Amino acid sequence: MGHKERLEKFAARLELSGFNAYICVNESNVFYFTGLPSPATLLIRRDGHAVLYVSPMNYGLAEKEAPQGVEVAHLKMGVAPEALLAEILSQLGGMVGIDSLDFETHRKISGLIGGVDLRPQSRLVWDMRMSKDTYEVEVIREACSVADKVMRAAADLLVPGIKESEVKAELTAEVYRRVGQEPAFMPIVAFGERSAHPHGPILRGAARDRVLKRGDVVVIDLGVKVEGYCSDLTRTFYIGSEMDERLRNTFESVIHAKALAQNIMRPGVSCSYVDDIARDYLSNKGLDAYFIHSLGHGVGIDIHEPPRIGPGSQDQFVENNVVTCEPGVYILGEWGVRMEDTLLVTEEAAIPLTSYPLDEYLIY
Amino acid sequence: MGHKERLEKFAARLELSGFNAYICVNESNVFYFTGLPSPATLLIRRDGHAVLYVSPMNYGLAEKEAPQGVEVAHLKMGVAPEALLAEILSQLGGMVGIDSLDFETHRKISGLIGGVDLRPQSRLVWDMRMSKDTYEVEVIREACSVADKVMRAAADLLVPGIKESEVKAELTAEVYRRVGQEPAFMPIVAFGERSAHPHGPILRGAARDRVLKRGDVVVIDLGVKVEGYCSDLTRTFYIGSEMDERLRNTFESVIHAKALAQNIMRPGVSCSYVDDIARDYLSNKGLDAYFIHSLGHGVGIDIHEPPRIGPGSQDQFVENNVVTCEPGVYILGEWGVRMEDTLLVTEEAAIPLTSYPLDEYLIY
């Protein structure tokens, strides 16, 4: 779907929901509708007319890159966001949606917007963004394919004596080499007891780095961005040929919990239920107390987006969701094991888009 | 200043401003008061008592790393932010500040918080954070010193035939080598006509990368993070021994505008006035229409923080501000020239903490 079609589809939804217009200030929403990555404000009217308000710094990019049918409006330097919002709203009436609004801004403008009924409702855009179109699936597939190759390059570096920072640097360089731009996020590389922290340890003082030793567990979590869309992939390795039974059971349990959860991801299924399935399985193995985060999340323009696949989530899967499935078990002071793939949810199956082998976790 | 002293100082400010308590949800504010980098919610009472609410994923780090005097409260998995906020507020009364609150959250909790007068007021923390203490200046100085060395390594790579992505990859690797962790932000490296976009071009399709040619202008904007604090440094180079007069005049004008602005940065001086000084000088040179962004911004835990040094800013400099000064001139389709240092504002002078030579811009 092109940007023009997205805008038309969204305008039809505005009409159906009784909105006269909608304002996007969230950077990734603006990118979704216009392909422009920089901070800007986008007004979409129910008739499909769209206006992109850009500051002087982005006149050049906007003039050159704005999609057909999007009018570009030039702001002066230093216009405060609340002043722009009040100005836009003064031309509107009735019910107007907005994707993000902080309380302070609302208070500042509430006296200036006359009869406008301004409603923060981010869900209206998410309902579209959560279901990826053909183009989006294609570029995410490419980002996933590169992630697999980068993971391979990273695994090849895991020789005792290398530092976490060296793996991160080389892994980042490999992303630059393969796609010409930066990773989707700064990679996590955690050795040994540091892998027990899902996002790695606090990099402070002497803890800024760590050398790899034989017998270490290694968690590597990386993502690639292609045409503005992310992939997300985690593998855990063990440096040695034989691990103790508890650790081996944990690897196998995490891999099995992941398969069970993936197997039931379908449109209409509750996200919290899928999380339950993985959690219950780990509970039977006595490991649920160590599965200390949600099972997964949506992936797209943002590395974390709806749906949330975790306890208490109100979300349901929809067709063409792209999501992660990433159970993990973390034993403080010892190690952590997490396995994560990015998947496409269809009527028939949740199809893994990343495909680095799950069973090649021994490195020796 | 240690975390304990910061909390005590802030508690005294709460008392003075009539607040009973204050809630930090902003990640960098939580880091400022506790040294903990992960998402968490911090309650600070006017008596100095502080409680850090952490999710299961961060129990381990919080137990190990929370500073003296900060109580760690364990949340269950999947507690919604608004539920936590309502729970905290139900134990409080009177005026309670918060650093960030979105309108939707406020609406959800407004019926649940009884007599609490909840006031979003981020400024209360910024008033402290804007003036760096001795420790903060020391680690930022280190981050700046490393940035200089990384810029030198990057400049050494600027031989015709190299790609933007290769410079970015090597520059990032150099940061990892020197400080053991990732850059403060993904570096900007823009060759030739791409340097006319302050944040670089949109990296889409064939535009994802570009090879360096003789006669190119090159903008490199990079930052390093040490102990959680950032530096920010930009230099512009020319690949060749002789440039045309218009380009040379632009380099010299940008450097001179920068010196003029830095010379008057002192506590009590208006930030918009300092921006004016640089802008007026460039106006006399006929270049102000091409200076399309603000002159600078604060730097600290965040790469962009108050004060804002630009048109219309209401901020004033205070002692021990750490800020950037970064005038730029951008000619669409041709080139851009930006020079940026990170500086410490004192009563006597604005002292550059980055010090890569401004006049070594010819590379041949």
**B286–A contact, CB cutoff 8 A:** no
Sign of CA dihedral B132, B134, B139, B143: positive
B182 & B267 share domain? yes
A173 & A258 share domain? yes
Identify the residue with better confidence: A50 or B37.
A50
**Domain boundary residue among A129, A152, A182?**
A129
| Gyration radius of chain B's alpha carbons | 23
A155 & A118 share domain? no
Instruction: Say how many Å lie between the first and final Cα of chain B, rounded.
Output: 46
pLDDT score of A38 more than 80: no
- Is the CB of B60 less than 8 angstroms away from the CB of A227? no
pLDDT score of A232 more than 80: yes
* Confidence bin at B234 (pLDDT 50/70/90): very high
Contacts of B165 in chain A (CB under 8 A): 176-177, 180-181
Share of chain B above pLDDT 90, in %: 89
- Rounded to 10 degrees, the C-alpha dihedral B58/B129/B99/A79 comes to -130
Instruction: State how far the Cα of B233 lies from the Cα of B189, in Å rounded to an integer.
Output: 12
The CATH number covering residue B70 comes to 3.40.350.10
Residue type, B130: M
Q: What is the predicted ipTM?
A: 0.95
A21 & A105 share domain? yes
**Domain boundary residue among B83, B101, B129?**
B129
A91 & A150 share domain? no
Q: Which of A106, A165, A332 sits opposite B180 (nearest CB)?
A: A165
At B285-306, the pLDDT tens digits run 999 899 999 999 999 999 999 9
Can you give the pLDDT at residue A115? 85
B192 & B309 share domain? yes
- Is the CB of A106 less than 8 angstroms away from the CB of B103? yes
pLDDT score of B222 more than 90: yes
* Confidence bin at A41 (pLDDT 50/70/90): very high
B173 & B248 share domain? yes
At B86-113, the pLDDT tens digits run 999 999 999 999 999 999 899 889 888 8
B72: distance to nearest CA of chain A, Å? 17
Domain range for A61 is 3-129
B326 & B189 share domain? yes
A173 & A315 share domain? yes
Beta carbons within 8 Å of B230's beta carbon, 6+ residues apart:
B140, B143, B184, B185, B223, B224, B299, B300, B301, B302, B303
**Domain boundary residue among B72, B95, B129?**
B129
A82 & A219 share domain? no
pTM, rounded to two decimals:
0.96
B8: distance to nearest CA of chain A, Å? 23
Strands (E), chain B: 21-24, 41-45, 50-54, 70-74, 95-98, 117-120, 188-191, 217-222, 225-226, 229-230, 233-239, 296-298, 305-309, 322-325, 328-331, 335-338, 341-345, 350-352, 362-363
* Three-state secondary structure call for residue B39: coil
Can you give the pLDDT at residue B52? 97
A197 & A342 share domain? yes
Average pLDDT in the A97-107 region? 92
At B170-182, the pLDDT tens digits run 999 999 999 999 9
Q: What is the mean pLDDT of chain B?
A: 96
**A310–B contact, CB cutoff 8 A:** yes
Identify the residue with better confidence: A17 or A110.
A17
- Is the CB of B37 less than 8 angstroms away from the CB of A198? no
**B186–A contact, CB cutoff 8 A:** yes
Contacts of B310 in chain A (CB under 8 A): 77-78
Residues 223-242 on A with a CB inside 8 Å of B are 227-228
B103 & B177 share domain? no
Q: How many distinct structural domains can be found in chain A?
A: 2
At B319-346, the pLDDT tens digits run 999 999 999 999 999 999 999 999 999 9
Q: Which of A120, A170, A292 sits opposite B104 (nearest CB)?
A: A120
Residues 111-170 on B with a CB inside 8 Å of A are 120, 122, 163-166, 168-170
Tokens of A179: 């796609």
The CATH number covering residue B319 comes to 3.90.230.10
pLDDT score of B38 more than 80: no
For testing contact with chain B, the best of A203, A329, A335 (most B CBs within 10 A): A203
Beta carbons within 8 Å of B234's beta carbon, 6+ residues apart:
B188, B219, B220, B221, B222, B326, B338, B339, B340
Query: How would you classify the pairing of strands A70-74 and A50-54?
Result: parallel
